[in-house]
Amino acid sequence: MTVAETVGRTVAALGCRQVFGVVGSGNFVVTRALVERGAAFLAARHETAAVTMADAWARVTGEVGVATVHQGPGFTNALTGLAEAAKARTPLLVLAGDTSAAAVRSNFRVDQAAMAAAVGAVPERVYTPATAVDDVARAYRRAALERRAVALMLPLDVQAASDDPDREVPPAPAPDTRTRPAAEVVEAAADLLASARRPAIVAGRGAVLAGAGGALEELGELTGAVLATSALGNGLFAGQPYSLGISGGFASPVAAALLREADLVLAAGASLNTWTTRHGALVGPGARVVQIDCDIDAIGAHRPVDLGVVGDVAETAAELTAALRARGHAETGFRTPEVADRIAAGGWRHQPYDDAGTGERIDPRTLSIELHRMLPPERLLAIDSGHFMGWPAMYIDVPDPPGFMFTQAFQSIGLGLASAIGAAVARPDRVTIAALGDGGALMAAGELDTVGRLGLPLLVVVYNDAAYGAEVHHFGPHGEPLDIVRFPDSDFAALGRAAGAEGVTVRRVEDLAAVERWIEARPGPMVVDAKVEPSVVAEWLSEAFRAH
Ligand SMILES: Cc1ncc(C[n+]2csc(CCOP(=O)(O)OP(=O)(O)O)c2C)c(N)n1
Ligand SMILES: [Mg+2]
């Protein structure tokens, strides 16, 4: 028995049941040991994809995501995915081979710990055979409890050392990490809520992680609030009355108008960053802002707030409801039949637009609306980065937050396909859609092989404008030549077929009949090459360019 086997055995014993990776000599034994202890292994084709799959798997399941990579280039390849996971505060453990301390002339040698730290991840290390179990347990605990992306370095000489096969593995800690807000602060927040005539609750991922949906809905009912989410909270209030959907650039005109009318914004586990507030425009000039977060660092981080409440979002919402009930408070607020009618008629799919489809190219809005209509409600939507990303976010609803994978913490393109794969593996009961741009799809094209090889029932939809559209729309209005960001058209249906998926080219609505048939049977993956009309430019992107 070697330390490498001890590490694999320990990670399995701590609860890992799924691992994603690219295997080389430096992580072969540890990965085999994990598999022998019951973890399923998924072979990605690129390390960033492996890490992003583990990231998405963690976001969907709530468990620690685990990825495994070779030392040196295996680790440097993983860095973009690691940066996304670190910024997103995903509980993630990357098991990374590393050169032996004395191998100073090794080709593979780079300072992996410094690189991990540089992208916001936590470097940890297995130091000696005697400490291996504790080292692994510490790394796992930091990932799980601190919600950090942890890179556990496994030096080759320590991995190869022999170890005692009977070493005890401590159980994974599972403390209750909820924090209760201070009573005076709850009263102060209740004062502000009691004086509000038109409150809005904007819930973010902190609310999702706290399981605060129900408590916030109750508070919303009592105070007459409209309900909205950040992009990462998307789906939290699905199906609720007075729910506006996503606040920010993707908000419909009616949602944006109502949010601007609010005289109090209760940010619940939402940092109110520039995207969520549409560069500040969605918080009215006279509106008071109350922010609840379990993380003191999040309070007021992106904009000034009138009151910060440090506490678990669900606990705090419940205490606020109790405090307001004790005062006999009950307010109609926004919750009138007139506002209900405005919301019902005001979603993106109800907004009139001139269909820009040409017969050769489909309007991306029409494409998204049709996909929404065809897909069963129990769906999981993963979106890459780029100009196109607003169309699926605005026009395709999701049933709950795990149904929405949005890897935008690092704003990298090329992570969407891997996040769809990780999410699809976590939720085989759902139909998963990977909504990609052509640029992001080609950056991750190797993972089409993973999709085809595994026969995942995944719908890959490429919004193909044959360009880095975000750059076209950024620099085009300034009269810049655009040849360096435009490409000859790529045939994604053929690429999909080459990878073992069904492939279909979509130029008009009728071409989507093949997708409708696929949805019925879902025999394996399908790649949709949607030739989208590039003249349709998203307002959210123009706004972002203006604001920056
Ligand atoms: C890894 C990385 N490289 C470059 C960029 C800059 N960038 C942002 S959007 C974009 C274009 C993406 O093109 P595509 O995937 O086709 O989507 P589109 O904008 O055309 O809808 C680029 C290059 C980035 N965000 N991430
Ligand atoms: Mg494009």
Residue 359: left (phi > 0), alpha (psi -120 to 50), or beta? left
**What CA–CA distance (Å, rounded) separates 13 from 10?**
5
For residue 356, report the distance from its CA to the centre of ligand 1, in Å.
23
254's tokens: 């009616």
Residue type, 158: V
d(CA 524, CA 456): 5
Residue 328, pLDDT above cutoff 90 = yes
In the chain, the percentage of residues whose pLDDT exceeds 90 is: 95
Taking the CA of residue 469 as reference, the ligand 1 atom at the shortest distance is 20
Q: How far apart are CA 409 and CA 52, in angstroms?
A: 12
CB 439 within 8 A of CB 510: no
Render pLDDT for 106-136 as a digit per residue (tens, 0 to 9): 999 999 999 999 999 999 999 999 999 999 9
Instruction: Give the per-residue pLDDT at 91.
Output: 98
Q: Coil, strand, or helix at residue 408? A: coil
Distance between Cα 264 and ligand 2 center (Å): 39
Q: Which atom of ligand 1 is nearest to the CA of 441?
A: 15
**Ligand 1 mean position, distance from CA 387 (Å):** 8
Instruction: For residue 436, give the ligand nearest its CA.
Output: 1
Say which ligand is closest to the CA of 439: 1
| pLDDT on residue 307 | 98
388 CA: nearest ligand 1 atom = 21
Best probe residue, ligand 1, of 368, 383, 411, 468 (max atoms within 8 Å of C-beta) = 468
Residue of 51, 365, 367, 385 to test ligand 1 pocket, by largest number of atoms within 8 Å of CB? 385
Could you give the count of Cα atoms lying within 13 Å of 406 in the half-sphere of its Cβ? 21
Locate the ligand 1 atom nearest the alpha carbon of residue 437 and give its number: 15
Give the tens place of pLDDT for each residue, 431-445: 999 999 999 999 999
Q: Name which residue leads in pLDDT, 511 or 548.
A: 511
Q: What is the pLDDT of residue 166?
A: 83
Q: Which atom of ligand 1 is nearest to the CA of 385?
A: 9
CA pair distance 304, 383, nearest whole angstrom: 30
Average pLDDT, the chain: 97
List the strands of the sheet with 226-229, edge to edge: 243-246, 226-229, 199-203, 264-268, 288-293, 307-310
Q: What is the pLDDT of residue 172?
A: 79
Within 280-388, strands assigned E span 288-293, 307-310, 379-383
Ligand 1 pocket mutation, candidates 367, 408, 413, criterion most atoms within 8 A of CB: 413
Q: How far is the CA of 122 from the centre of ligand 1 (A)?
A: 28
283 CA distance to ligand 2 centroid (A)? 32
Q: By C-alpha distance, which of 123, 134, 124 is closest to 6?
A: 134
Q: 446-454 vs 416-426: helix axis angle to the nearest 10?
A: 20
Distance between Cα 384 and ligand 1 center (Å): 9
- The answer to which of 139-153, 164-178, 335-349, 395-409 has the lowest mean pLDDT is 164-178
Gap from CA of 389 to ligand 1 centroid (Å): 10
The stretch 307-316 carries a mean pLDDT of: 98
Average the pLDDT over 376-381 and give the result.
97
Ligand 2 centre to CA of 160 (Å) is 47
Query: If you take atom 25 of ligand 1, which residue's CA is the nearest one?
Result: 412
Query: Which ligand 1 atom is at minimum distance from the Cα of 464?
Result: 16
Ligand 1 atom nearest 414 alpha carbon: 1
Ligand closest in space to the Cα of 416: 1
The Å distance, Cα 386 to ligand 2 centre, comes to: 7
In this model, does residue 194 exceed pLDDT 90? Answer: yes
Question: 52-68: per-residue pLDDT in tens?
Answer: 999 999 999 999 999 99
Residue 390 predicted with pLDDT over 80: yes
User: What is the predicted pLDDT for the residue at 129?
Assistant: 96
- List the residue whose alpha carbon is closest to atom 11 of ligand 1: 468
Ligand 1 atom with least separation from CA of 411: 25
Residues with CB under 6 A from ligand 1: 385-388, 411-414, 437-440, 463, 465, 467-471
> What pLDDT, on the 0 to 100 scale, is given for residue 254?
97
Compute the 3-state secondary structure of the chain and give helix, strand, coil in percent, each to the nearest 5. 45, 20, 40
What is the whole-number distance in angstroms between the Cα of residue 440 and the centre of ligand 1?
6
Instruction: Quote the ligand 2 centre to 468 CA distance (angstroms).
Output: 4
| CB neighbourhood size of 85 (10 A) | 34
- Please choose, from the candidates 400, 378, 379, the residue with its C-alpha nearest in 3D space to the C-alpha of residue 237: 400
Which residue's CA is the nearest one to ligand 1's atom 13?
A: 468
pLDDT for position 545: 82
488-534 pLDDT, tens per residue?
A: 999 999 999 999 999 999 999 999 999 999 999 999 999 999 999 99
Ligand nearest to the CA of 473: 1
Strands (E), 399-521: 404-406, 431-437, 458-464, 502-506
